Structure 1
Amino acid sequence: MEFPTTQLSIYAEDMIRESLAQSRSMNIDSVDQHEFEVHHRKEQFVVNILNRTCSCRQWDLDLISCSHTCIALSTRNLNLHLYTDKFYYVSNLINLYKKGTRPIGTVNQIRNIHQGGNDGILPP
């Protein structure tokens, strides 16, 4: 089995790569050391790298840098990987599956188990 040579999962790397490409057409103004206003076309977004928030909410929800965050972090020469949630690190994914997984069977086998009606769970 071949593992990626990056710290992050392929999915996270692809998302960051796409965000970086989009950020090239944006303008940025520094509000202070941690907060930035990012301008893209007629829209304006506020990024706070200390709180790890962006007004577009993508960084807040995906925990991967959005395009607005990418330009803000790049302005400060900060490593984008360090601002990506640990969930997306390959080392964490490897540890997650290190102990192995057990097959749960086919869909029909699962249905038969739960349709028996006598699974020990009583109604409230």
Structure 2
Amino acid sequence: MVELKDTHCKCYDNLIEIRIEKLLRVRSPKRRYKMMTTNIAESMNSCLLAIQKLPIASIAEFIRDLLQRWFHDRRTNAHEMSTYLTRYADDHIKQRVLQSQRCEVNPIDCNRFKVGDKWTDTIVDLEQRSCLCRQWDLDELSCIHVMAVARLKGMPMTVLCSDFYTTGWLKHAYSMIVNPVPKPETWNIPR
């Protein structure tokens, strides 16, 4: 940013007006680009490599067909899940439950807790949905400190995870149907 300010002051001023939080992942209050956004782009790019020299209509049909299959497979997978959280979130919780049992929790008030693990002490704020380790803040999936607080308060671990990790949300995300394009002679084109 210093280099940008020195060479293009007006551009620098415009970026500062936008706010740094919107520009830099490191300053983002949440993880905007992680597994889902990166993986889908990489998956799509690898699928399109083989067909990049085809006519645009063929590429469009290939993409439509690919998305139709992906949505069907993911919709089927989501409907087979019987847990509240997705398999990914359930695995995350299970991996960290043992670690969270080693944490010592001391209430500060009804929403804030000092939580110590063998490395460091941190503060969990249930009202702000924040932990100083920042894992819960960024991923919106319970860290070991939040799990320790949930256990102390008798709360289910699943309550403190974002709705984005629920099976219901996953089912909703893939609820749209990708239909085949009908033959051109059946199209109803308005004047």
TM-score bin (small chain): 0.7 to 0.9
1:68 lines up with 2:68 in the alignment: no
TM-score calculated relative to the size of structure 1: 0.76
Based on CA coordinates, which of the two structures has the bigger radius of gyration?
2
Structure with greater helix share of residues: 2
1:87 lines up with 2:154 in the alignment: no
**Count of residue pairs the alignment pairs up:** 103
Secondary structure of 1:29's counterpart equals strand
- Of all paired residues, the percent bearing the same amino acid is 28
TM-score calculated relative to the size of structure 2: 0.50
User: Which residue of structure 1 aligns with residue 90 of structure 2?
Assistant: 13
Give 1:18's aligned amino acid.
Q
1:49 lines up with 2:126 in the alignment: yes
Q: Pairwise CA RMSD of aligned residues?
A: 1.7
| Equivalent pair of 1:29/1:36 in contact (CA under 8 Å) | yes
User: Which residue of structure 1 aligns with residue 107 of structure 2?
Assistant: 30
Counterpart Cα distance in 2 of 1:52 and 1:18? 21
* Structure 2 residue ranges without an equivalent (≥5): 1-75, 181-191
Counterpart Cα distance in 2 of 1:102 and 1:88? 27
1:100 lines up with 2:174 in the alignment: no
Structure with greater strand share of residues: 1
